Amino acid sequence: MAVIPFVMIYLIPAVSAAALAILMWQHRYYRGGRPFTLLLVAIAWWNACHALSIADTTFEGTLFWSLLQNVGIVLIGPCWLLIALAYSGEWWRVPRWIRRGIFVPELVALVLALTNNLHYLWWSTVEADTSRPFLWLSVTRGPAFWFHSIYAYVCLAIGILVLARASWQSPPVHRYHARLMLTAALIPAIGNVVFLSGVKMPWNDDPTPVLLFISAAVGIYTTMRYRLFDLAPLAEQEVIASLPDGLIILDSRGLVAEINQHAPRLLGISSERWIGRPLAQLVVNSPFGRDLQLLLTTTVTASTRPTIFDNGTQAIEVRIRPLQTATGITTGTLLLIRDVSERIRAEQERISHIAALRLINAIARSANTAQETGSLLDTIARMIVQDGQWERVSIGLIGESQTTITVVVDHTTHGIGSLQGQVIDGNAAVSLIRRIERDQPSFIYLTELNAEDPLAEGLRREGLQSLLLVPLRHEHYATGILGLATNAPKTMTPTLEKLATAIGELITDAIVRIRLYEEVKRADRLKTGFLAMVSHELRTPLTSIIGYTDMLRRGVLGELSPEVQETLGYMKQASLNLMRLINDILEFSRMEAGQLSMEVEPVNVEAIIQNVVGQMLPQAHERNLTLKTNLLPNTPRIVANAGRLEQVLINLISNAIKFNRPNGLIEISVEPRGEWLRIKVSDTGIGIAPADQERIFEEFQRVRSPNGKREQGIGLGLAICRRLITYMGGRIGVESTPGEGSTFFCDLPTVAASRMVGKHADA
Ligand code: ADP
């Protein structure tokens, strides 16, 4: 019965450990739950067997229980290691086969312990020890025992190291319980070392099982104290770890309280220790260090906008928020860091795309409207330099002999470059022209050129690094070259190649178009000159014919028979018609040659109309037509050239006579329309189909009349009228219903309107 207190010393921890094991088993799915349960079972087992070995009074019995307690003993070391891994957050980094495999050496040791009487490798001698209040064994430990002990201590030591590291570095949730677990681990370790080194308990027995129980109890306390079985902190931890963004929590003094693994990576620093250190110091070596330090000194509110830091290769967005209690006291700061490099690059690319499109658009516009190559190329070069991507833009055109290149423009950011006007010839020109015929836009880099290359020398002198050569080709025919140079080495990208090709094509097309345009203009000038010359040469003899015909008719050369008189009358009419045609042609050629000039002044429309009608009445009567006017009492005066307006009206009235029906009517009327006065010439003739109404104002355009009758004329009258009216600032047009008649109208500005415009201009 004297052994009962000693039995109790081990039995109570055994029962308690078993109870805790059951509790732990219920939480086995949480972190470290399974190894912890196993550890508690092992402790319970060890304590129980120890208690039984004390309780048993026979030698065999004591030996039996003493050996059996090894089942528990061998599990302790590996279990501790696994718990340490779990509680330090390292569990998932260790492969599963290692987590299982660490038990194997101990199981081998266990087999050797249980079969000791076959080989005595565990205990080489076993004797009864009666020095204690209960029957005990005095043993000599064998190699298997020492192997097990060393292995168990190695496991324990690794576990302690892992926990120690975690207690130093981990985020708080891991850190605090890692520290307590470390304490728990150290209790039996120190006790056991003390025992093995010879220090005995008062009752002369191994205290390890009891110490282990105490340590397990501390472990359980830690678990409960830090609510490790609560899901929330664990989940928070998981969420923080799995955030794609970097997260840093600072306390009110700016010390790091929490940080996830992305934050250091995004900040570009790898400091070993973060927790508890001031962030402002930690980021000194970060590429964003200065920006961050500045940001940390600013007062942040919940509405502080995200800030973007861009160091050229990487861009991060930092959101900073104060952490406040319900009562509004700021207890810390939350920093969320996101990698926005992709977004920023995409944005920059978008901007440069838009800039490229703008440039192309601007070049296209000037290319489409340009009429002269030199000024067009000058404008384009200036636009490209102003765009800011290139320091120097040169355009060379190939001479007709295909052996020289003339640098037509050479623009730099400082003005005209030294190459402008220079002519490249000889081998340099020929090899460049070959290149233009074959190549796509390509870069030439200063670093890749031969030192003696004249191009290299030129680039070096101008401080340029890379030169993009864009061939200007029209249907495989080399027309010139565009050179874009920068003083920083640039590389070819698909976008740049497309841009360069597009600009090259625009320039080439414009050059070709301008050349064609110039050729057409030259041909046109030749035509106009020819027409003017011919008409002039025709007019002179025609004037003589008309003069002599008049002389004959007046009987200057003798009395004429009525038949001859009539024939001469026809001759004169035909000559006059011919004269009018020639005059039209001459007038038109003068207009084409830009020789039209006239003065405009306030004129009285009524007088002009009366005058014209007076002139045209005989012709109208000749064709049995009625010609009448319908004027207003106070017709406003208009701004025009009286002579030219008369010419237009005569033309319109003679058309109205020509294209009228027999016994038809011609009416001249006026209609005020706001600031304009409309003069209308209406007839009751054949009319004009809607499709032809615009066309007839173009030169040499005539409409075949429905009855197939061909009237005199070559289609210049209305073209001349339109030019004259437009020149006077007015507008001419027609409204017509085929078969019923036409109304030609001229809108001209009234004097009042022109004064207002004048006043406007003065203002
Ligand atoms: P031309 O009279 O010398 O042929 P115009 O330029 O004066 O040249 O007229 C062009 C064409 O317009 C005429 O050939 C005719 O077909 C049509 N046209 C002009 N005036 C009238 C009109 N009053 N009625 C019908 N057709 C007309």
Choose which residue among 579, 696, 709 to substitute to test ligand 1 binding: the one with the highest number of ligand atoms within 8 A of its C-beta.
696
The pLDDT assigned to 231 comes to 45
- Measured distance CA(379)–CA(68) in Å, rounded: 100
Higher-confidence position of 381 and 226: 381
| From the candidate CATH numbers 3.90.1010.10, 1.10.357.10, 1.10.287.130, 3.30.300.30, the one assigned to the domain spanning 513-595 | 1.10.287.130
Smallest CA separation from ligand 1 atom 16, residue: 703
- Cα of 702 to ligand 1 centre, how many Å? 6
Smallest CA separation from ligand 1 atom 25, residue: 687
- Cα of 719 to ligand 1 centre, how many Å? 10
The pLDDT assigned to 91 comes to 73
- Cα of 715 to ligand 1 centre, how many Å? 7
Maximum Cα interatomic distance, the chain, rounded to a whole number of Å: 186
Smallest CA separation from ligand 1 atom 11, residue: 702
- Cα of 718 to ligand 1 centre, how many Å? 7
Compute CA distances 512 → 368, 373, 509, whole Å.
Answer: 11, 9, 5
The pLDDT assigned to 440 comes to 83
Q: Are 147 and 107 in contact (CB under 8 A)?
A: no
- The pLDDT-based confidence of 762 (bands split at 50, 70, 90) is very low
**Range from 228-232, 500-504, 508-512 carrying the lowest mean pLDDT:** 228-232
- Which pLDDT tens digit goes with each residue over 561-597? 999 999 998 898 889 888 888 888 888 888 877 777 8
- Cα of 687 to ligand 1 centre, how many Å? 10
Choose which residue among 588, 655, 721 to substitute to test ligand 1 binding: the one with the highest number of ligand atoms within 8 A of its C-beta.
655
The pLDDT assigned to 759 comes to 43
- Cα of 7 to ligand 1 centre, how many Å? 136
- Tell me the average pLDDT across 517-524: 89
**Going edge to edge, which strands form the sheet with 256-259?**
256-259, 246-251, 330-339, 315-324, 307-310
pLDDT at residue 112 greater than cutoff 80 = yes
Class of domain 243-339: alpha beta
- Tell me the average pLDDT across 122-130: 87
Sign for the pseudo-dihedral over CA of 530, 533, 538, 539: positive
**DSSP 8-state assignment for residue 711:** P
- Tell me the average pLDDT across 105-133: 89
Class of domain 4-235: mainly alpha
The pLDDT assigned to 174 comes to 55
Residue 758 CB: number of other CB atoms within 10 A?
Answer: 11
The pLDDT assigned to 749 comes to 94
Tokens of 15: 């029962």
- Which pLDDT tens digit goes with each residue over 599-655? 999 999 999 999 999 999 988 998 999 999 999 888 899 999 999 999 999 999 999
Written as one letter, the residue type at 244 is: P
- Cα of 660 to ligand 1 centre, how many Å? 11
pLDDT at residue 185 greater than cutoff 80 = no
Q: Are 207 and 190 in contact (CB under 8 A)?
A: no
* Burial state string for 664-673 with b = 16 or more CB within 10 A and e = fewer than 16: bbbbbbbeee
| From the candidate CATH numbers 3.40.50.720, 3.30.70.20, 3.30.70.1400, 3.30.450.40, the one assigned to the domain spanning 370-492 | 3.30.450.40
- Cα of 739 to ligand 1 centre, how many Å? 14
pLDDT at residue 244 greater than cutoff 60 = yes
pLDDT at residue 170 greater than cutoff 60 = no
Residues with CB under 6 A from ligand 1: 655-656, 659, 683, 685-686, 688, 696, 702-703, 713-719, 742
Residue-averaged pLDDT of the chain: 85
Residue 377 CB: number of other CB atoms within 10 A?
Answer: 27
User: What's the CATH number for 596-762?
Assistant: 3.30.565.10
- Tell me the average pLDDT across 172-191: 72
The pLDDT assigned to 720 comes to 93
The pLDDT assigned to 594 comes to 79
Smallest CA separation from ligand 1 atom 19, residue: 655
Q: Are 87 and 181 in contact (CB under 8 A)?
A: yes
- Measured distance CA(405)–CA(483) in Å, rounded: 13
Smallest CA separation from ligand 1 atom 2, residue: 713
What is the position in ligand 1's atom list of the atom closest to the CA of 686?
Answer: 25
Segments making up each domain of the chain, as ranges: 4-235, 243-339, 370-492, 513-595, 596-762
The pLDDT assigned to 235 comes to 60
Smallest CA separation from ligand 1 atom 3, residue: 713
- Cα of 596 to ligand 1 centre, how many Å? 23
Compute CA distances 532 → 248, 480, 590, 701, whole Å.
Answer: 90, 39, 7, 20
The pLDDT assigned to 593 comes to 76
Domains 4-235 and 243-339 share a fold: no
Q: Are 719 and 697 in contact (CB under 8 A)?
A: yes
The pLDDT assigned to 425 comes to 86
Q: Are 677 and 671 in contact (CB under 8 A)?
A: yes
Choose which residue among 582, 591, 702, 725 to substitute to test ligand 1 binding: the one with the highest number of ligand atoms within 8 A of its C-beta.
702
- Cα of 565 to ligand 1 centre, how many Å? 31
Tokens of 464: 């340029």
Smallest CA separation from ligand 1 atom 8, residue: 715
Higher-confidence position of 720 and 241: 720
The pLDDT assigned to 104 comes to 95
Sign for the pseudo-dihedral over CA of 449, 451, 455, 460: positive
Q: Are 363 and 376 in contact (CB under 8 A)?
A: no
What is the position in ligand 1's atom list of the atom closest to the CA of 703?
Answer: 16
Task: Report percent pLDDT > 90 for the chain.
Answer: 32
Smallest CA separation from ligand 1 atom 9, residue: 715
- The pLDDT-based confidence of 763 (bands split at 50, 70, 90) is very low
**Range from 132-136, 325-329, 646-650, 671-675 carrying the lowest mean pLDDT:** 325-329
- Tell me the average pLDDT across 379-407: 90
- The pLDDT-based confidence of 393 (bands split at 50, 70, 90) is very high
pLDDT at residue 203 greater than cutoff 70 = no
pTM of the model: 0.43
- The pLDDT-based confidence of 432 (bands split at 50, 70, 90) is confident
The pLDDT assigned to 402 comes to 86
Higher-confidence position of 668 and 35: 668
Virtual torsion, Cα 381, 387, 392, 394, nearest 10 deg: -20
The set of residues, in sequence order, having a beta carbon less than 8 Å from that of 63 and lying 6+ positions away, is: 126, 137
Written as one letter, the residue type at 195 is: F
Q: Are 35 and 79 in contact (CB under 8 A)?
A: yes
Helix (H) or strand (E) holding 471: strand 466-474
The pLDDT assigned to 664 comes to 95
Smallest CA separation from ligand 1 atom 20, residue: 655
- Cα of 675 to ligand 1 centre, how many Å? 29
- Tell me the average pLDDT across 295-304: 80
Smallest CA separation from ligand 1 atom 14, residue: 702
pLDDT at residue 232 greater than cutoff 60 = no
- Which pLDDT tens digit goes with each residue over 722-760? 999 999 999 999 999 999 999 999 999 998 766 655 444
- Cα of 706 to ligand 1 centre, how many Å? 13
Choose which residue among 665, 680, 718 to substitute to test ligand 1 binding: the one with the highest number of ligand atoms within 8 A of its C-beta.
718
Q: Are 472 and 380 in contact (CB under 8 A)?
A: no
